[in-house]
Copies of this chain bind each other. A is one copy, B any other.
Amino acid sequence: MKVAVIGLGYWGPNMVRNFSALEEVSDVMCYDVDGKRLKEITTKFPNVHAASSYEEIIKSDCDAVAIVTPISQHYDQAMKALQSGKHVLVEKPLAASAKQCEELVELADAQKRVLMVDHTFVYTGAVRKMKEIIERGDLGDIYYFDSVRVNLGMFQHDFNVLWDLAPHDLSIMDFILGRQPNAVSAIGVNHYNHMEDVAYLALHFDGNVIAHVHVNWLAPVKIRRILLGGSKKMIVYDDMEPSEKVKVYDTGVKVVSREGIYRTLVEYRTGDMFAPKIDHTEALNIVVRDFLRAIRTGDEPVADGRSGHRVVRILEAAEQSIRNAGALVHL
């Protein structure tokens, strides 16, 4: 299998490193518009060679392309790769609009090629463990999903904090809840330019389920925490914990009686806490292996193009809501 990586900024070299460590991959080619950066990376990884342009990659006999460029370039680069019969792995978010995502998904289907999005968190041991716990029904009915992802961050120049950080939360939510919101509302403010640096996003599901995401580039501390409330148990996933990232609380509310519509007696139940052992394999290693597996077998990868589309559809609706003072946008 021959693989090419385009875009060697912060994340691209990690792709290069992971692909080049795989036995199945006989050749890794890479490219970046910044020639100096390109040289740096090919020096660091001796078994990786440089392409002189993206066209060279497209025309080469490589089987698959990983696109780790700014969001605005994803669509064009992925279209070209799919059109030339290559499998494609795109950095999150999949593209800059839901329509672009749809076209990519359609083309990949038509070409019978793998289209995958790098929703890295979905492949972490912590998120896979949460999925397992939820699928086992341990939480009972899901009540809410609340995610906070804040720190003193890197301002993106072409997209705001929502497009930069929320794909993480939305892809985790999409993966572990396995259901789709029917409406979105969002609020954002900017303090340095026209790009929002603080945003709050609410997702409304059937059955009184709510998801909420707080993303912030201007926080003095790094917080990466998801609260997941259920009728039987609840989860706290704190990604900043060195170990014990996922804690399952045997905690809940018991309705004691309903005396008329205006009276509910509830009783609190606090019980044991359990922190399952988490697999610490580097998530990106599992990402690239899932990509190759999908190419080899024809099965869909976990983070397929459709999941990329679902995430972007929400981002787009949230963006629209921000432009309309938080008005509800139905999906």
Contacts and interface: CB of A to CB of B under 8 A. Distances in A.
Interface stretch (A30-38, A80-88, A209-217, A286-294): A209-217
A83 to B, nearest CB: 29
Given A144-B198, A200-B202, A270 B152 contact: yes
Given A155-B264, A193-B258, 16 more contacts: A144-B218, A152-B251, A154-B268, A155-B266, A157-B263, A185-B185, A185-B326, A187-B204, A191-B208, A193-B262, A214-B214, A219-B227, A220-B227, A244-B273, A326-B327, A326-B328
Contacts of A325: 183, 185, 328
A192 B255 contact: yes
A318 to B, nearest CB: 13
A235 B144 CA distance: 28
10 contacts: A144-B198, A146-B216, A148-B148, A157-B263, A191-B253, A202-B326, A219-B229, A221-B227, A244-B273, A272-B275
A274 B271 CA distance: 11
Interface string A239-251: 0101110010111
Query: Which of A148, A191, A271 counts the most B-chain CB atoms under 10 A from its CB?
Result: A191
Nearest to A205: B189
Interface string A25-65: 00000000000000000000011000000000000000000
Contacts of A273: 243-244, 274-275
A296 interface: no
A187 B200 CA distance: 11
Interface residues of A, number: 72
A212 B200 contact: yes
The 7 closest A-B pairs by CB, nearest first: A46-B46, A220-B249, A220-B234, A193-B264, A273-B275, A189-B210, A220-B251
Nearest to A238: B221
B214 A220 contact: no
Contact of A143 (B47, B218, B231, B235): B218
A227 B148 CA distance: 12
Given A144-B198, A268-B152, A274-B274, A236 B221 contact: yes
Contact of A202 (B47, B187, B249): B187
Interface centre among A219, A250, A258 (most CB of B within 10 A): A219
Contacts of A181: none
A70 interface: no
A179 interface: no
A234 B219 contact: yes
A208 B190 contact: yes
Given A270-B277, A274-B273, A277-B270, A261 B194 contact: yes
A317 interface: no
A222 B241 CA distance: 12
A150 interface: yes
A264 B227 contact: no
Contact of A253 (B192, B236, B251): B192
Nearest to A199: B210
Nearest to A222: B242
